[in-house]
Amino acid sequence: MAPAISGGEPKGQRLGVNLLFGALLFVVVGSLAGEWMSIQHKLGNLWFWFGTQGYEYVDLGRFWQILLFLGLTFWLWLMWRALKPALAKRDHSHSLLLMFLLASVAIPLFYAAGLMYGQRSNLVTVEYWRWWVVHLWVEGFFEVFATVVIAFLLTRLKLLSLPTATRAVMFSTAVFLSGGIIGTFHHLYFAGTPNIVLGLGSVFSALEVVPLVLIGFEAWENIRLARAREQHVWVTAYKWPIYFFVAVAFWNFVGAGLFGFLINPPIALYYMQGLNTTPLHGHTALFGVYGMLGLGLMLFCLRALRPGQAWKNGPLAFAFWTINGGLAAMVVFSLLPIGLMQTWASVEYGTWYARSAEFLHSGHMNELRWMRMIGDTIFAVGALVLGWFVLGLLTGHSYDKRGYVVEGEWEVRSRETVIGGRH
Ligand code: HEM
Ligand SMILES: [Fe+2]
């Protein structure tokens, strides 16, 4: 992203990026191996440092956690040195760039909150800091980061003007952070905290839905604008990367906004904590928002990396609709009905019953669980096709020989125009 913003790369950046990739691989493989060994009781007293800490989302051992933090700091340094020339220019993109830099600083900084507790800390203390990492990342700084990145790309594609983008980003950031920071308390309603936490948490986390709705409308507006200009320059070469960004807005609204809100009021969570309504929200928000964002950014970078032959849109369109449709089918046909039935059981008899094997294997519950096969299969097929497409960018089977994309431009030209013109 950084070269797309500053127009070039500082010396040695390639080496840095490759090093970072190697380091990430080391941490992922090392921590997974450690977790496995720890669970197999092969690590003895070293479990906390090299094995699993046993906390969801910060499972990895402390040693790996520190390495990951150092890696994120190194990533921040790489970002900074690449953005420095653009920052020095002080043109109208300055405010947006500063936001980008701030969001980038927040990512390693708030991961560090996961280092605030020790092996023998009280569970309540651990939960408190753990949610700093999990919640503040996904509902605070990642949201800001995602909004800024997408705004930058849309301005580069001339779908959005810089002043409009800057205003929208500033406004959403203010609302995201004012809701998101105190909103962290929605994970601590019943964690032995004082009553005030319940009140503050529920009010501020409810506010988080506001920017999610606005961003949804914003994305829809952009698509409409782009379509209206279709006769001129519809961004044909970037259509599918942009569609993935629209999917981000959609799942932000449905997964984070709607399904998050469903379990968010204290009275709802009193009955529904840890039922299937939680993965309903977790899958649609986490994959829907950050998974789709990752795929969109990947496609965007791949497209900009190597201008030249146009892409075959068929496999991309197929992957887009199956990945999104599969995710929707998985939650609608399985997680949502199971979650709602569990909610009924929890209100009627209690959480112990809603989560018991006795209830989960009664009536139609087994069939509903197996219904996941449908959505999961559709999703998996989409993922395979996308993988096959990306592979084809190396081997050549993903290119459409009839079209051509010129560096720095966003529409596909037909071969004849290019041959008759420049070549
Ligand atoms: C893109 C943004 C979001 C992502 C990626 C996300 C992700 C997640 C995940 C993975 C969990 C499960 C945590 C666990 O079980 O340990 C969770 C829980 C929760 N989320 Fe979100 N979320 C997002 C936005 C929201 C919003 C906007 C709200 C409220 C309006 C919300 C409300 C909740 C609540 C109340 C829980 C606790 C559920 C429980 O304890 O059973 N989330 N979220
Ligand atoms: Fe949260």
Mean pLDDT by 10 residues, the chain (423 residues): 81 95 97 96 93 91 97 96 90 88 93 94 92 91 88 80 85 87 93 90 90 76 68 71 90 93 95 95 96 94 86 94 98 96 96 95 92 97 98 92 79 64 44
Q: Whose CA is nearest to atom 32 of ligand 1?
A: 260
Q: How far apart are CA 405 and CA 31, in angstroms?
A: 42
Dihedral (Cα; 306, 292, 240, 209), 10-degree rounding: -130
Q: How far apart are CA 383 and CA 325, in angstroms?
A: 12
Which ligand is closest to the CA of 183, given by its number?
2
Q: Give the pLDDT confidence score for residue 423 in this predicted structure.
A: 42
pTM, 2 dp: 0.91
Q: Give the pLDDT confidence score for residue 230 in this predicted structure.
A: 56
How many A from CA of 245 to the centre of ligand 2?
22
Q: Looking at the domain assignment, is residue 12 inside a domain?
A: yes
Pocket test for ligand 1, best of 138, 178, 251 (most atoms within 8 A of CB): 138
Q: Give the pLDDT confidence score for residue 78 in this predicted structure.
A: 95
How many A from CA of 281 to the centre of ligand 1?
6
Q: Find residue 414's DSSP bridge partners.
A: 403
Q: Whose CA is nearest to atom 5 of ligand 1?
A: 286
Range of the domain at 14: 1-89
How many A from CA of 186 to the centre of ligand 2?
6
Q: Whose CA is nearest to atom 37 of ligand 1?
A: 187
Q: Looking at the domain assignment, is residue 32 inside a domain?
A: yes
Q: How far apart are CA 375 and CA 322, in angstroms?
A: 9
User: Which ligand 1 atom is the nearest neighbour of the CA of 206?
Assistant: 30
Q: Looking at the domain assignment, is residue 233 inside a domain?
A: no
Inter-CA distances, 202 with 196, 261, 267, 305, Å: 10, 10, 10, 44
Q: Give the pLDDT confidence score for residue 416 in this predicted structure.
A: 64
Please list every protein residue whose CB sits less than 6 Å from any atom of ligand 1.
56, 138-139, 186-187, 205, 208-209, 252, 256, 260-261, 263-264, 269, 273-274, 278, 281-282, 285-286, 289
DSSP sequence for 372-402:
HHHHHHHHHHHHHHHHHHHHHHHHSTTEEEE
The answer to whether 309 and 400 are in contact (CB under 8 A) is: yes
Contacts of 144 (CB under 8 A, 6+ apart): 99, 102, 103, 106, 169, 172, 173, 176, 177
Q: Looking at the domain assignment, is residue 65 inside a domain?
A: yes
Pocket test for ligand 1, best of 176, 278, 284, 327 (most atoms within 8 A of CB): 278
Q: Looking at the domain assignment, is residue 19 inside a domain?
A: yes
The answer to whether 142 and 135 are in contact (CB under 8 A) is: no
How many A from CA of 409 to the centre of ligand 1?
39
Q: Whose CA is nearest to atom 24 of ligand 1?
A: 256
Side-by-side strand order, sheet with 399-405: 308-311, 399-405, 413-414
Can you list the alpha helix ranges (DSSP code H) found in 265-371? 266-272, 277-285, 292-305, 313-330, 336-348, 351-354, 357-360, 365-370
Amino acid present at 42: K
Q: Looking at the domain assignment, is residue 333 inside a domain?
A: no
Q: Whose CA is nearest to atom 16 of ligand 1?
A: 56
Q: Looking at the domain assignment, is residue 84 inside a domain?
A: yes
Q: Count structural domains, the chain.
A: 1
Closest C-alpha to 411, from 232, 220, 161 = 232
Pocket test for ligand 1, best of 204, 213, 281, 335 (most atoms within 8 A of CB): 281
Q: Whose CA is nearest to atom 30 of ligand 1?
A: 261
Q: Give the pLDDT confidence score for residue 14 in this predicted structure.
A: 92
Q: Looking at the domain assignment, is residue 77 inside a domain?
A: yes
Dihedral (Cα; 402, 408, 409, 410), 10-degree rounding: 90
